[in-house]
Chains A and B, each alone.
Chain A
Amino acid sequence: MKGQPIQFEHVGRLYGSGKQTVRAVDDVSFMIEPGHTLCLVGESGCGKSTTGRMVAGLIRPSEGRVLYGGQDVSTLSKTEARHYRRAVQIIHQDPYASLNPTRSVAQILTDPLLHHKMVASRVALGNRLEELLQIVGLTPPADFLRKYPHQLSGGQRQRVSVARALTVGPEFIVADEPVSSVDVSLRVSLLNMLLKLQRDQGVTFLFITHDLAVAKHFAWDGRIGVMYLGRMVELAPTPQLIGDPVHPYARALIAALPEADPQVTRNKERLRLRSAEIPSLLNLPRGCTFHPRCPLYEEGLCDQERPAEDVVDLDGHLAACFVMARELGQEQRLPLALRQARREEPAAV
């Protein structure tokens, strides 16, 4: 199921109009190569779910382009569009809402198989159903086919969701908080099942979560993108992001996470933010949207222009912070106006 790369080019998604416009997603760019994993991490309202739905083609971008295999998805022919729709599947967060309560597991899985004529006979159908349930770890399959969603636990429902996504042989799976509503002791099992899927079938993943620890476990060989108020503020390979984060928001998130280890967590240094208030999407701060809360805030630098996603570019490790760009010797990447503003300041020495 190796597929095509999916690329976002300055994609934005707006809701509302005029004064009441909300930029749920704002100028986000990234590329996901087939077989790889990108994790989108952020708090509620950061736009990660909206981004995920745009990747899956369920929502159309208001700005920018989504490219599938190098081609703009809005210009695809009917057949190509259909192929794209099926190539990208989605797994939802809430196991209690992701399955139709009036249909049995067998029906839920059979619908797409029959609809798209993916099986030639009843026997083939039966075999495929068994195969799917085996892949997602619901054994013995016969037991589960008969059941209705309310007879399954949260973790089991998520597995049925995955099986359903697999019916159409997707290249790409958008997993929107797939383990957040599942018991902690069962999360790892579910994550490992998804990892195995990636290993065995080369499925590409866009993994959306608010939990950095889960992101780390799932995407250790992939990348993590941190989103804040609709923008991507940092994008880096996972070990680098966790070990050496650049953007102050990412640093604050990592520092704020409680650990299941009393000595570590009680002595961990937290990043103090200047304000606890999260700006409303209707009234974003000028310049860098994080500046009212940012400990690195510099007047004149941070409240003028919005930093681009790749202001800091350390060999593939991107961060949207002017101050850090300067600190890391990448001053030449700042916008001209701000560079000049800096130069006019009296010399330190």
Chain B
Amino acid sequence: MAVASHTATPRDPTAAYRVWNWFATTLKLMARNKIGFAGFLVVVAILLLAFIAPYFVAFDNTARVDQIYQPPSAAHPLGTDSEGRDVWVQIIHGGRDILTVGFLAAAITTVIAVTLGSLSAYLGGRVDTLLTWLADAFLSIPRIPLLAVLAGILQFNSQLALALIIGLLGWPTLMRAIRSQVLSLKERDYVEAARALDLSTSHIIFREIAPNMVGYIAINFTLAATEAIYASAGLIFLGLVPLSGSNWGVMINLAWTRGAIFFKDSIWYIMAPILMISLFQLGLVGLARSMSEIFDPRLRRGG
């Protein structure tokens, strides 16, 4: 957004260079925090596994009853399941749904929380009181039992429905966090100066306050994603959601109900999806540590 009236200096970068620079700086900033960087790598690896790998590995759903619960071998790196299907293949194909639900739900939660939190804090008064009461009401209801009940009443037929429900229930905590952030940012001197300069409310919220919350929002988005993944995996495991398709949650459920824990050779059937989910969560949490550094303008543009 250079606005200088004189001709562009030779240093003015092209768009492509700027994008590349942004990526490079982001990576560099992330690398400063070892755990953050490790988390980042894990997340990227698992995302690749879940979203890209399925195109390269065919999904084989045929049941081969003569090969149930085979131990890990060259042909089946993680063994086979109760119907003789390869566990590793299922792992590859099983991430997509769960992760999509997780991020989608987190996105819904974040959007609702940021909007309500900002409005509540900036407008204050009755609006604030009403919204915080609403948030408190939601918070006081235990989530999993509520989800269970809802699962019984409504039919979660699609991933979208699941994501929607989880997202709609997860906003109160984040909303309160955003609200307190906005309350504090609202008192900053530069916001007061913007008011003195008679800049519009929308400018103040979107240009003065929000950009200073981006890091905070990003971290909370990441953590909301972990919550959503747990929630959906939990629901599936508890059998509250129709078990369509094959994803990690379904794998855990099936493995459990089919007694995979009782066989030494089939331990991977139940452990693999659990480990994948756990690993991904760990990666996300680790990544969250780097988030504040990525979004800090001071670190980005040289001290």
Contacts and interface: CB of A to CB of B under 8 A. Distances in A.
Direct contact of A and B (CB under 8 A): yes
Contact of B198 (A116, A125, A164): A116
Contacts of B190: 97-100
B5 interface: yes
B302 interface: yes
A263 interface: no
Interface stretch (B131-139, B199-207, B219-227, B272-280): B199-207
Contacts of A302: none
A115 interface: yes
B149 to A, nearest CB: 43
Interface in A73-95: 82, 85-86, 88-90, 92, 94
Interface string A96-137: 011111111011001110011000001101110110000000
A57 B195 CA distance: 10
Nearest to A124: B5
B3 A129 contact: yes
A104 B1 contact: yes
A102 B216 CA distance: 14
Contacts of B9: 142
Interface residues of A, number: 44
Nearest to A164: B193
B3 A111 contact: no
A314 to B, nearest CB: 36
A120 B65 CA distance: 79
A145 B200 CA distance: 23
B3 A88 contact: no
A56 interface: yes
Contact of B297 (A56, A90, A102): A102
Contacts of B189: 92, 94, 97-98
B4 A145 contact: yes
A107 B199 CA distance: 13
Given A100-B208, A106-B2, A111 B297 contact: no
B124 interface: no
A125 B2 CA distance: 11
A278 interface: no
Interface residues of B, number: 30
Nearest to A126: B5
Contacts of B195: 58
Contacts of A161: 193
A150 interface: yes
B83 interface: no
B207 to A, nearest CB: 7
Interface in B210-238: 211-212, 214
B4 A115 contact: no
A142 B302 contact: no
A150 B302 CA distance: 9
A58 B5 CA distance: 34
A59 B207 CA distance: 23
Contact of A107 (B1, B194, B196): B1
18 contacts: A56-B196, A82-B198, A100-B207, A100-B211, A100-B212, A101-B297, A102-B212, A107-B3, A111-B194, A125-B5, A126-B3, A126-B4, A126-B5, A129-B4, A145-B3, A150-B301, A151-B303, A165-B193
Given A82-B198, A106-B4, A165-B197, 16 more contacts: A56-B196, A58-B196, A88-B196, A89-B193, A90-B192, A98-B189, A100-B190, A112-B197, A115-B199, A115-B203, A129-B3, A148-B298, A150-B298, A151-B303, A164-B197, A168-B198
